[in-house]
């Protein structure tokens, strides 16, 4: 069929590194940037995405068009579809899987809890089942989340800190993902690297995230909620620019060892790694609004509100020394610079320019 031909072509390796990656969630925010970066350096890339309508599907379609221009083809399908996944592994002998497909967002879990179980638990298990039987077994890098630190208040968060107090169902499913990865590593020798992303932002971003809808609402003159924690403390996020996250993802992929699974030769225990990918400089959400006001040249209508108990934590702050040491990860974009690039993209995209930056 035509799609197989396109999939093979997209996954064809152009550089000598021999890397061919299945990117799940390729039409998503992070997936778009990671797929583009892999393709541009000559890796083979095939995307998979179910194009669900958690947020504006037309944005996912626009990202798809952008990816196709770069030479990345996306197969439309669900990570729970074993037959499709097996077929993809038949068509392409992937060396790596970059697993980014998930039900994201903490608040939506109140409305639609089962979508988190479907994608973040059942979907992950299904994908790992297929990877375990693939020959060769691919090394897997997957997106966990800073949300696993939950109600932990010891900052900055280090990978050794407790993660047994998730504050949302989203966080609980991301934490479960880490436990599931551990099991597949232990039993089947799959090589797995989990990346705990901290509030990622940038061009092609997610409309459900604060920096995105604050931009929209400031421009529309709508009130912007400034959340106050019950203890009157600051609500802050360790905002991390997408290009820094992409560098971390590629470094994780490049340092991932091949699996030691039943098909291959045993070379000692397979790799299971977990890294924080953050920016190490939390910014109060009120400062985020001030930066956006300056960039948009519009005053925001601030509206002070108590932080609701619907899954948001008060504070995130990454300790990145482990990723620095093992991956050479070093974020270089501050919030002001990164938001400038986001706003430029936002204005161009909404004026019909569909410009891609970053
Ligand atoms: P996103 O929602 O933009 O991307 C996820 C993509 O996966 C979407 O395009 C969606 O259509 C697809 N998808 C969802 N369920 C699927 C399924 N069952 N089968 C196939 N495709 C499916 O989110 P993002 O911001 O790009 O996040 C990427 C990953 O990083 C996710 O795993 C997310 O949980 C994680 N993460 C993101 C952030 C952040 O700040 N953006 C922070 C921490 C963790």
Residue 100 CB less than 6 A away from ligand 1: yes
Q: What is the pLDDT of residue 353?
A: 59
In terms of C-beta distances under 8 Å and separation of at least 24 residues, what long-range contacts does 112-117 make, across chains too? 113/169, 115/52, 115/54, 116/169, 116/170, 116/173, 117/173
What is d(CA 41, CA 47) in angstroms, rounded to the nearest whole number?
16
Is 149 assigned a catalytic role? no
Question: Considering 116, 149, 170, 329, which one is annotated as catalytic?
Answer: 170
Structure pTM?
A: 0.96
Distance 157 CA to ligand 1 centre (A): 22
Distance 231 CA to ligand 1 centre (A): 32
Quickly count: other Cβ atoms within 10 Å of residue 180's Cβ.
18
Q: What is the pLDDT of residue 358?
A: 39
From 79, 101, 199, the mutation candidate for ligand 1 (largest count of ligand atoms within 8 A of CB) is 101
Domains in the chain, ordered, with CATH? 2-199+241-279+317-331 (3.40.50.720)
Residue 63 CB less than 6 A away from ligand 1: no
Tell me which DSSP letter residue 121 carries: I
Q: Residue 51 CA: which ligand 1 atom is closest?
A: 11
What is d(CA 202, CA 209) in angstroms, rounded to the nearest whole number?
11
pLDDT tens for each residue of the chain, 358 residues long: 899 999 999 999 998 789 999 999 999 999 999 999 999 999 999 999 999 999 999 999 999 999 999 999 999 999 999 999 999 999 999 999 999 999 999 999 999 999 999 999 999 999 999 999 999 999 999 999 999 999 988 899 999 999 999 999 999 999 999 999 999 999 999 999 999 999 999 999 999 999 999 999 999 999 999 988 877 778 999 999 999 999 999 999 999 987 766 554 555 568 999 999 999 999 999 999 999 999 999 999 999 888 877 788 899 999 999 999 999 999 999 999 999 999 999 999 999 755 544 3
């Amino acid at each position: 069929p035509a799609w197989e031909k396109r999939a093979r072509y997209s996954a064809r390796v152009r550089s000598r590194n021999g890397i061919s990656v299945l990117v799940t969630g390729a039409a998503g925010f992070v997936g778009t940037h990671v797929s583009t970066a892999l393709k541009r350096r000559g890796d083979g890339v095939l995307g998979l995405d179910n194009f669900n309508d958690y947020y504006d599907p037309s944005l996912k379609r626009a990202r798809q068009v952008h990816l196709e221009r770069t030479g990345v083809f996306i197969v439309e399908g669900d990570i729970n579809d074993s037959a499709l996944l097996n077929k993809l592994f038949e068509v392409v002998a992937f060396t790596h899987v970059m697993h980014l497909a998930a039900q994201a967002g903490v608040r939506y879990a109140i409305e639609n809890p089962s979508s988190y179980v479907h994608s973040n638990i059942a979907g992950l298990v299904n994908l790992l089942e297929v990877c375990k039987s693939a020959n060769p077994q691919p090394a897997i890098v997957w997106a966990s989340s800073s949300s696993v630190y939950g109600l932990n208040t010891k900052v900055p968060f280090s990978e050794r800190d407790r993660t047994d107090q998730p504050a949302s169902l989203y966080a609980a499913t991301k934490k479960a993902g880490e436990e599931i990865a551990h099991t597949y590593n232990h039993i089947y020798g799959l090589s797995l690297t989990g990346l705990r992303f901290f509030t990622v932002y940038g061009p092609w971003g997610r409309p459900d995230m604060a920096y995105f809808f604050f931009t929209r609402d400031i421009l529309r003159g709508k009130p912007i909620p400034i959340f106050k924690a019950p203890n009157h403390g600051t609500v802050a996020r360790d905002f991390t620019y997408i290009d820094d996250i992409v560098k971390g993802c590629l470094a994780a992929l490049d340092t991932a060892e091949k699996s030691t699974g039943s098909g291959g030769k045993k070379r000692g225990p397979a790799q299971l790694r977990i890294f924080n990918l953050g920016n190490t400089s939390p910014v109060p959400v009120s400062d985020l609004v001030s930066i956006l006001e300056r960039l948009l040249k519009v005053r925001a209508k601030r509206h002070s509100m108590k932080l609701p108990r619907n899954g948001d934590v008060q504070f995130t702050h990454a300790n990145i020394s482990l990723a620095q040491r093992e991956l050479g990860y070093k974020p270089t974009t501050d919030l002001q610079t990164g938001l400038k690039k986001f706003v430029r993209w936002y204005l161009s995209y909404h004026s019909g320019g569909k410009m891609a930056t970053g």
